[in-house]
Chains A and B, each alone.
Chain A
Amino acid sequence: MTRLALVTRVVKPLLYLAATLPCAWIVFALATGRVEGDQVKYIQHVTGTTVLVTLFLTLSVTPLRRATGWNEIIRTRRLIGLTAFWYALLHFVSYVVFDQSLSLADIADDVAKHPWVLVGFASFLLLVPLAVTSTNGWIRRLGGKRWQRLHMLIYPAAVGGVLHYFWLVKKDVRTPLWFAGVLALVFAARLWAARARGRRPARAQGRRRESSPLIRAGEDVA
């Protein structure tokens, strides 16, 4: 099996499956009475954690690609990024429906008064254009450079997501600090990857020319 086939026929289906697991777990845990205490908070905790983890994974694809030379894994990035978005949407909807009972006035008030809600809200909004422009059509329409610039919104969204978590914790900030630490590592890896790319352009670029324009668009914006 070629590496491309491995990524598209094995890794991607596995990632699809993995993407449904947190959601399936929530349904299972609630249905079987495994969740003691605040069930909505549980939904929000699992979805929120999934968003942060998948955002970090999305940001890690390029450094991983540079480190291994496995250019094919770029084909998994959209799937991981969209997983982050879908869980952010679930997280957001649970807040709007269960916490605020769909009251726009209450939501506006909450967002205006409480910085951690504002930061969470803003981070979610930043992900919306990224999800919308994740299609091949939008990559083509925007062109690699502009698409890439737009998708740099993932950086403030990820930082905002971690800050949102940090601010909601009452006292024991160890877990949010772990997330902040991992995000710093991911950022460091990306810096390293950007420099590594500059140093050895010939082979990588030669390979990229062989692939289809769409894949190239995907790769160019890595």
Chain B
Amino acid sequence: MLINRPPDIPTSEITEESLYTTRREFLLAAGFGAAAVGGLLPFSRTALPWGRGPDDDKLTPFEDIAGYNNFYEFGTGKDDPARNAGTLRTRPWKVEIAGEVATPAAYDLDDLLRGLTPEEHVYRHRCVEAWSMVVPWLGIPLGRLIDRLEPTSRAKYVEFTTLFDPAQMPGQQRGILDWPYVEALRMDEARHPLTLLVTGLYGKPLPNQNGAPLRLVVPWKYGFKGGKSIVRIRLLERQPATTWNIAAPDEYGFYANVNPEVDHPRWSQARERRIGEFFKRKTLPFNGYAPQVASLYAGLDLRKNF
């Protein structure tokens, strides 16, 4: 059971955790901003908490975000999900909490998230296919949910499983991938304040084709790490097998951190096309979130652990 007491402080008065945990960067950014006002230094938005990028990181239009999707459960074409995802029923929605937690159980999604207020995070989204978007997600930092679940000391990984129901997800009628879709993170990655459980987009509930009603977003990793339409969250001691890694282990690693230095075996990852633009731009290490996340991988050979 989840304990839900009404908050005794209005949520509007609480400093957001992501702001709190990145307060130094925030102060730094504020300092840079003040300096810019004084005409001393150019204003750099890259230092802001949720990684708002340089000035040319304009929001991608909703039509593109909701019309150009990789969600093979609804077909492999980019416009298939928008066309076919109408068959998905997102309420009622059960999420099974399993593995190394105090009380494994299945929860109704609304109960699971009660009291966790979604907040807007604008993230760059980089697909492994070398295109990118800028998306105003509405979500809850995953770490807050994990705290509630009271993980045991053996919990080292978090696994996310997508719904398997070929009647609702026609793409699953063919064995294009090893269904159901499974993705996973290391516990420190899962608890990182940038990691989001997303329920909405552009201030509205998440469109089905974007992974409704609950999906994962890890902005410094390639998009395929973000499991969609999640029905099970399992905490594990050992690293689980993940879908794309099973499908092509030499092409898709467990980490899948955005890295312009390490090419996909068949294509370059050095540059990307921002949707809406014609020319490609340089891809940034960790998708531009290196200041926030690079320390997670200190000492790890990123060429081997791609």
Contacts and interface: CB of A to CB of B under 8 A. Distances in A.
B266 A37 contact: no
Interface in B244-297: 247-248, 263, 266-268, 273, 275-276, 278-280
Contacts of A98: 273, 278-280
Contacts of A114: 263, 266-268
Contact of B278 (A39, A110, A171): A39
B131 A172 contact: no
Contacts of B131: 37-38, 41
A171 B63 contact: no
Nearest to A116: B266
Interface residues of A, number: 22
Contacts of B278: 39-40, 98
B76 interface: yes
A199 interface: no
Given A36-B64, A37-B64, A117-B267, 10 more contacts: A36-B82, A37-B67, A37-B68, A38-B275, A40-B278, A41-B273, A99-B280, A113-B268, A168-B266, A171-B176
Contact of A110 (B63, B68, B129, B268): B268
A113 B276 CA distance: 27
B23 interface: no
Contact of B263 (A36, A113, A116, A170): A113
Interface residues of B, number: 25
B79 interface: yes
Interface string A150-182: 000000000000000001101110000000000
B68 A38 contact: yes
Interface string B69-96: 0001000101100100000000000000
Contacts of A99: 273, 280
Contact of B247 (A37, A168, A171): A171
Interface in A112-157: 113-117
B275 A37 contact: yes
Interface of A: 36-41, 98-101, 109-110, 113-117, 167-168, 170-172
B68 A171 contact: no
Contacts of A110: 268
15 contacts: A36-B63, A36-B78, A36-B82, A37-B67, A38-B68, A39-B276, A40-B273, A40-B278, A41-B273, A99-B280, A100-B280, A114-B263, A117-B267, A168-B266, A172-B176
A38 B273 contact: yes
B37 interface: no
Nearest to B274: A38
Contacts of B273: 38, 40-41, 98-99
B36 interface: no
Nearest to B128: A170
A165 to B, nearest CB: 13
Contacts of A172: 72, 76, 176
A133 B64 CA distance: 44
A115 B266 contact: yes
A108 to B, nearest CB: 12
B200 to A, nearest CB: 20
Nearest to A167: B266
B59 interface: no
A39 B279 CA distance: 10
A18 to B, nearest CB: 25
Nearest to B265: A114
B41 interface: no
B241 interface: no
A167 B267 CA distance: 10
B175 to A, nearest CB: 11
A111 B192 CA distance: 38
A171 B177 contact: yes
A167 B248 CA distance: 13
Smallest CB-CB A-B distances: 7 pairs: A37-B68, A36-B67, A172-B76, A36-B68, A38-B131, A98-B278, A36-B64
A101 B279 contact: yes
Of listed A170, A171, A172, residue having the most chain B CB within 10 A: A170
Nearest to A169: B76
A52 B185 CA distance: 42
A171 B76 contact: yes
Contacts of B64: 36-37
A38 B131 CA distance: 7
A116 B266 CA distance: 7
Of listed A109, A115, A117, A171, residue having the most chain B CB within 10 A: A171
A129 B10 CA distance: 74
Contacts of B68: 36-38
